[in-house]
Amino acid sequence: MRRESPSGGGFPRTSLRRDAVRAIIAIPSNRNSIRHSNRNMGQRVKGESAPQGGSNDGFAAKEAKLVGDFARLSDWETRYQYIMKIGERRGGLSEDDKTEENLVRGCQSQVWLTARLEEGFVTYSSDSDSAITKGLAALLAGYFSGETPEAVLRREPGFLKEIGLDRHLSPTRANGLLAMVRQIKVHALGFLQASGAEDGDEGN
């Protein structure tokens, strides 16, 4: 069963260090490798069954991968490029989804976030009109996707501090990041409340 969610400082432009970034985000050559890439970030390819997870183990695996990926990049110039590449590869919404209802309040740039619930697991999708913000949103969307609403509500993205991102964002972008996390949890809470209401109706 699929259910839509009921809720509604720039960086310098630099040349891509393609060798380092591509070593982490490989360009998939077939559908199997695309599935593998999406699964690593907690996102499912259409047609795949929901992951049997939603626990701390799922988050731990995603955190370990992200921390490892960032550790392999030598400096923050390259890491910013990596974040933007995540946005290019994994971010993006249709124009129909870029609505006022899906806007994340509190972000300097325009950020849109959608959520859907399938077989008890949440999948988030995101987009932004800023390259770095689009990457940050895609990073969070991938991290929280593939988990149950309960797990999303219990989890904080501790990896952001572990990779040092909290120390390398302007105050406005840091506030925007918090706004994205807050909106992700609002969607999860909405799904949880809707599920509880349905259970109550069935009991009457």
Contact 127, 92 (CB under 8 A): yes
CA distance 93 to 5: 15
Pair of tokens at residue 96 = 């129909």
Residue 144, pLDDT > 70, answer yes
Give residue 57's pLDDT band: very low, low, confident or very high (50, 70, 90): confident
pTM: 0.73
Contact 152, 184 (CB under 8 A): yes
pLDDT tens digits for 178-200? 999 999 999 999 999 997 766 65
Q: Which of these is catalytic: 66, 83, 107, 111?
A: 107
Q: What is the CATH number of the domain that holds 139?
A: 3.90.1010.10
Contact 42, 157 (CB under 8 A): no
- Written as one string, the DSSP assignment of 48-63 is SPPPS--SHHHHHHHH
Tally of domains in the chain: 1
Phi (first) and psi of residue 197, to 5 degrees: -65, -40
Q: Is 66 a catalytic residue?
A: no
- What's the angle, vertex CA 120, arms to CA 183 and CA 154, rounded to 5? 45
Q: What is the mean pLDDT of residues 137-159?
A: 96
Domain membership of residue 57 as a residue range: 2-203
pLDDT tens digits for 90-126? 889 999 999 999 999 999 899 999 999 999 999 999 9
